[in-house]
Structure 1
Amino acid sequence: MFRLLILILLLLLAGLQYRLWLGDPNLRQVWQLEQAILEQRRENQLLAERNQRLEAEVADLKEGVKAIEERARSEMGLIQEGETFYRLIEQDASQRSQP
C-alpha cells in the first residue's frame, strides 16, 4: 500500500515536471517572455525620453523667437542682417608640417 502511494506521488511529480519543462507554456517560454518584456520596457523608456525632448523643443519653438533663430543658424546657416559671418577652415596635418 505504501509503495503504491509513493509510486502514484512519483508519477504525479513526473507529470508536473513534464508540464513545467516541456508543456505549453513551459518555463523556457516564460523566461523568454520576461526577457522580451524587459527589452520592451527599456525601449519604451528611451522613446519616452525622446518624446519628452521633442515636446520641450516644440514648446520652445512655439513660445520663443530665440529657438527659431538658433535653429535657423545651426541647421540652415542663416545670419541676421548686419552680422559678419566668419568661416574657419582647418588645415590638413600634411599641410601644417610644411612651411
Structure 2
Amino acid sequence: MFRWLIISLLIMILSLQYRLWFGEANLRQVMQLQHQIDQQRAENDSLSQRNRQLEAEVKDLKSGLSALEERARSELGMVQDGETYYQLVEPDNGR
C-alpha cells in the first residue's frame, strides 16, 4: 500500500515538473515576457521624460512671452520694432 502511495506521488511530481518546463506557460516563456516588460518599461520611461520636457515647453510658451520671443528670434529670424538687423555674409573667394 505504501509503495503505491509513493509511486502515485512520484507520478504527480513528474507531471507537475513537465508542465513547469514544457507546458503552456513554461519558465522560458515567462523569462522572455519579463524581458519584454523590462524593455517596455525603459521605453515608457524615456517617452515619459520626453513628454515632461514637451509639457514644460508648452507651459512656458503659453505663460511667458519671453520664451515665445526667443523661439521666434532663433527659428524665424524675427526682429522687434526699432531694432536693426545686420546680416554678415562671408566673401566669395571663388570669383
User: Is the TM-score greater than 0.5?
Assistant: yes
Structure 1: 4+ residue segments shifted above 4 A: 86-89
Q: Structure 2: which 5+ runs fail to align?
A: 91-95
Q: CA deviation at 1:87?
A: 4.8
1:20-31 matches, within 5 Å, as 20-31=20-31
Taking only aligned residues, the RMSD between alpha carbons, in angstroms, comes to 2.3
Give the TM-score normalised by structure 1: 0.74
Change (3 A) 1:87 1:17: farther
Matched, 1:58 2:73: no
Give the TM-score normalised by structure 2: 0.76
Q: 1:40-80: CA deviations, max 9, x gaps?
A: 11111111111111111001000111111111222223344
Which residue does the alignment assign to 2:93? none
Q: Structure 1: which 5+ runs fail to align?
A: 90-99
> Aligned partner of 1:53: which letter?
Q
Identity %: 54
